[in-house]
Amino acid sequence: MGMKNKEPILRKVLVFSALPLFILLLLLCHDQQHSFATYSSDEGQDDEKNTEHHSLGEVESAELHSKLRRLVNGNDLTNFDATGISYDVDDFTEISVISKPVIFDQKSLSLYVPSNDAIQPGRRKVKPYPRREDPTAMEWVTPVDIITGNATQIRPPSCQIMHHVPALFFSFQGFVENPFHAFNEVVIPLFLTSWHFRSQVQFVLTDYRYEWFWKYTRVIEKLSRYEVIGTKDSKMVHCFPAAVVGLRYHENLAVNSSKVPLGYTMQNFRQFLWKTYKVKVKTALNLEKPKLLLISRKGSRMFLNEDEMVRMMEEELGFQVYRALPNETSDLSKFGSVVNSCEIMLGAHGAGLTNGLFLPTGAVMIQMVPLGLNWASDNYFGEPAPGIGLKYIRYKIWRNETSLYEKYGPNDPIVSDPGSIWAKGYMAVKKAYVDEQNFRINLVRLKSVLIEALELMGRSSA
């Protein structure tokens, strides 16, 4: 009987003890729902439009303006500080830097820069790919339409997705299927333009090519902590506190520290590259038994006596030869470490020599320069090599080493007068010297060049 009287009291105690815990759980559930709703809105997953434009505080705005200012040409700094907009163009690239809130309509690729000032509307189309001097490269690059003026006149669309970092617009069109051009016109310029933002920048692609974009995803993820806009079919209206349209570019495979924010050098870029691809960096060259990387080609610019070349390198000079096949060079996460393990890289002029960016400092690049391709060989790889930190040897293919000599004979203009072929235009050059030329290398001559390479690295010829 006593226990029965105690049961109602016990139930009341248990209920009132559990009540605070129950209320706490309700509050937690509400917070989680609120957080999820906020996240969904930020990511553009809901249908509700966010029409309130994000504005930074004074300190944040000043810091952002300072970072953007580093990308402005010195001649335009005064105008940029006064208006918040800069436009710069040279032989290779055009770039617009905007230090004020912008609205980007992804569907039309229009970038609105609204103002409260009574100014006339203006517009400028910028193709964000640094190869202006080459109409073929620029033909398929989609421009960004930059529209400036009073907000009531230009009528920008309402914001759907808000971003709290500046946007950086660039294209993955041009010649990016070629590794040289991908590094030269996207990877290095992207580093030059964005590294000083310390990943606090939103990349926006005007042209997306899945098969090439994903090859360089590691680089993109290291430079920006945000998912790239433009890789999906979604066509939303994005708002940013500022924007950069276009990429800074110096020269072929080059970083000019006097023109880059915070004075970065090519060695800074190479260290970034090594870290990105987790390369085990060689700090000292092996002069006793050096490793030679031979870039093997198929289809054109092949070494017809490659087996004999390798045998001579190994048996007569004591090299460890690593023959890199074409399908091997595409996986940089693996191949980067292979390249860095070598003291010498030898290959015919072509995109494969771009892997020289992964060589250890002080290594030697030997470029086999085909008949008719002197200019491209010198400009794309020969001249940049010292700036990369490499020793360089130019092996000019003799006429009797090229298959063109065997095919056409010594008196045909293709062999005797390459200048006349260049006068016919690039397609004639490509057909004759890029697509149809192979080599049978003089082994005695090659051996002397390899001995020269060893001496350049510091090994005595005695």
DSSP string, 197-213: GTB--EEEEEE--HHHH
For residue 144, the SS3 value is: strand
**What is the per-residue pLDDT for 26?**
43
- For residue 199, the number of C-alpha atoms closer than 13 Å in the C-beta half-sphere is 10
Q: What is the pTM of this model?
A: 0.86
Please name which of 376, 380, 351, 353 lies closest in space to residue 365, comparing C-alpha atoms.
Answer: 353
CA-to-CA distance for 274 and 129, rounded, in angstroms? 25
In order of start, what are the domains of the chain with their CATH numbers?
Answer: 58-276 (no CATH), 291-457 (3.40.50)
Helix axis angle for 266-276 and 332-340, nearest 10°, is 120
Contact present, 212 and 181 (Cβ < 8 Å) = no
**What is the per-residue pLDDT for 78?**
93
For the segment 228-248, what is each residue's pLDDT rounded down to a tens digit? 999 988 899 999 999 999 999
Low-confidence ranges of the chain (pLDDT < 50): 1-53
